[in-house]
Amino acid sequence: MKHPSSNILVAGAGGFIGGHLVAYFRKQGIKNIRAVDIKPFGEWYQKFEDVENLSLNLGELPACNQAVKGMEWVYNLAADMGGMGFIELHKAECMLTVLINTHLLMASRDAKVKRFFYASSACVYAADKQTTTENPGLKEADAYPAMPEDGYGWEKLFSERMCRHFREDFKLETRMVRYHNVYGPNGTYDGGREKAPAAICRKVIEAQKNKSGEIEIWGDGEQTRSFMYIDDCIKGSTQIMESDIREPINLGSAEMVSINQLVDIAEGIAGVKLKRKYNLGAPKGVRGRSSDNTLIQKLMGWEPGTKLKDGLSKTYEWIEGEMN
């Protein structure tokens, strides 16, 4: 089923992925886009005057009823979240996000919304599957038996189940995507909510600005991750929304690197070599995490098209421009 030509809600539109999604729909010529976020307009990463922008607290049911009224498709990317430095220290706040998805589902059911998208996370995966740096890639089935990231991961896993049961009980077509570390321009790069690629870029730029010659790395730098560029994220998300895939599915890159290797790439972009100072007491998350893309390749023939070095170059350039 193709996207409708109008009446699409993006919840969390003031955030990183949500802002890029609104930009994508505008380029596609979709009319009557409603963009909603709890943040004041001045704090949105991207805001467009030719769409309907609303500042609402979607943790409250009346706000959700207002947001979904007249909409055909709903994309829920709204969440109180950030990188490992945020989610490890704000577990209760992350879990309160369950109110957003719960109330959006209820409002969408009552408003006869045709299709509902939920942005889940690789943090739903069982911790005992992520104890080594040589992670073979997490398959969708690895979410059970459940042992997700405490706080944020439990909220995501619970909300996946709620989407499933709203489809089964109320015939609301839901689609669930498990994102693996999305990065790119027009996102958070400081303040505590930033993720590793943006944080590393910022630290390399700061080291050049203050001529310190060194960079702090959280953990020993050997922990591994895979990172997906924002353009690939948006293409994959919209294709999954259009698809018949009703179960949660990975959306990420299988190009796994260590944090040390991520720093290597950022240093190469900047043309510098920095002394590394390892902060072993800092939040560092699981030991190894990567996306197994077997299922999405089988069902959709999908694979991210942006190499990490290329995406990080664009991200670095944008962050450098913002900091200058």
Q: Which of these, 147, 153, 145, lies nearest to 91 by C-alpha position?
A: 153
Q: Which residues in the chain come in under a pLDDT of 50?
A: none
| DSSP code per residue over 164-179 | HHHHHHH--EEEEEEE
Nearest C-alpha neighbor of 226 from the set 291, 161, 273 = 291
Cα 103 from Cα 3, distance rounded (Å): 23
Beta strands in the chain (DSSP E): 6-11, 31-37, 52-55, 73-76, 115-121, 173-179, 182-183, 214-218, 224-226, 228-229, 249-251, 256-258, 275-279
**Secondary structure class of 183 (helix, strand, coil):** strand
Q: Which of 152, 179, 189, 316 is catalytic?
A: 152
Spell out the domain ranges in the chain. 7-182+230-251, 183-225+256-291+306-323
Residue type, 96: L
Is 152 noted as a catalytic residue in this protein?
Answer: yes
* The pLDDT of residue 192: 77
CATH topology of 7-182+230-251 equal to that of 183-225+256-291+306-323?
no
Q: How far apart are CA 80 and CA 15, in angstroms?
A: 10
Q: pLDDT tens for residues 80-116?
A: 765 566 667 678 888 899 999 999 999 999 999 999 9
Residue 308, pLDDT score: 96
| Fold classified for 183-225+256-291+306-323 | UDP-galactose 4-epimerase; domain 1 (3.90.25)
Tokens of 173: 């077509």
Please report the pLDDT score of residue 84 as a whole number: 61
Look at residue 136 in the predicted model and tell me its pLDDT.
84
The average confidence (pLDDT) of the chain is 94
Q: What is the pLDDT of residue 85?
A: 61
Tokens 């390749």 sit on residue: 297
Q: What's the CATH code, domain 7-182+230-251?
A: 3.40.50.720
Q: pLDDT value at position 83?
A: 58
What pLDDT was estimated at residue 241?
98
Q: What is the structure's pLDDT at 87?
A: 61
